[in-house]
Amino acid sequence: MLALLLCTGFVLSAGLTAALRRYALARHLIDVPNARSSHTRPTPRGGGVAIVLTFLLALPLLAWMGALSVPEMLALGGAGLLVAAVGFLDDHGHIDARWRLLAHFAAAAWGLAWIGGLPVLSVFGTALDWGMFSQLLAAVYLVWLLNLYNFMDGIDGLAGVEAVSVCLGGALLYWLAAPAGATCALPLMLLAAVAGFLCWNFPPAKIFMGDAGSGFLGITLGLLSIQAARTVPEFFWAWIILLGVFVVDATVTLLRRVVRGQKFYEAHRSHAYQYVSRRFGAHRSVTLAVGAINLFWLLPIALAVGLGYLDGIAGVTLAYAPLVWLAIHFKAGAAELQEV
């Protein structure tokens, strides 16, 4: 039954993306290259709505199959729908940053309330329980993750390949280390939805994801990491490791721009992946390189943490150290020529 649902989700997402491309062309929802762009030709946007619709439609079926509880369905569905709706409206016009941020925190609060919040985590064998402060940190984590996902959706296929890699790793964690009764259906369903969209977004992209899709992926992956932690606490650190490329590039870039006194929310092209794509003149090679880092570096460390062979914080440190070096080496957050 699950295999049939996954195949249907893949086909539905690919079909919806094709329909959304026609819609974007008819409504002139086109990303036109400018000084802040990483692409060179006008491309329709908003295809990520296919991921949103496919995953949200699958949630009730997964709940009926027993793959998730009703509160988990409400957490993922409500938070994801709110973030996607705000992103959709922003894709079609403009919503002031303060209202977007308010909606993002509302979505994070909704998701945490229904999913049961962040569980007690272990740091070097010590339980970390800060009560409500832990839940506040969890909300900030979700909002940062959904925004950094938006920041990192800047070249063809990158956000989709990242989501597929992370979901594959999350599914393997459930398969290898989760207790009886836990299921990998949710990350696999999201993987299928993103894979369908990738048929149209893999370099050279025929349609972009848009804020609706990138924000939805960010908060959904964040909630899946917290849900995984409620199954096995070590899984939280494993998901943080799987998300490492996006977390490190976006965070290093943000910190270096803030230190220089620049507005962190202004559009720019100073992420490491953007500098690399301009240096090599191709999106495909960068996207494939990120996929390779995820599969051959981050995934083995995440599995070692999830299986209990490595402490979570030690695993994050080991996984992130070379990523931080790479981000700095490839000028993440360095001043662009227009800013000098």
User: Where do the DSSP E strands lie in 180-253?
Assistant: none
Q: Among 58, 289, 330, which Cα is nearest to 161's? A: 289
Backbone angles phi, psi at 182, to 5 degrees: -75, 150
**Gap between the Cα atoms of 5 and 312, Å rounded:** 33
Phi/psi region, residue 334 (left: phi>0; alpha: psi -120 to 50; beta: rest), is beta
Residues in contact with 125: Cβ distance below 8 Å, sequence separation at least 6, in sequence order: 311
What six digits make up the tokens of 8?
A: 């249907």
Residue 201 among known ligand-binding residues: no
Strands 126-128 and 43-44 turn out to be: unpaired
Rounded to the nearest 5 percent, the helix, strand and coil shares of the chain are 70, 5, 25
DSSP string over 135-156: HHHHHHHHHHHHHHHHHH--ST
Return the HEC string of 173-200: HHHHHCCCCCCCHHHHHHHHHHHHHHHH
Angle between helices 49-64 and 185-201 (to 10 degrees): 160
129 is in an annotated binding site: no
Binding residues for Mg(2+): 150, 211
Binding residues: 150, 211
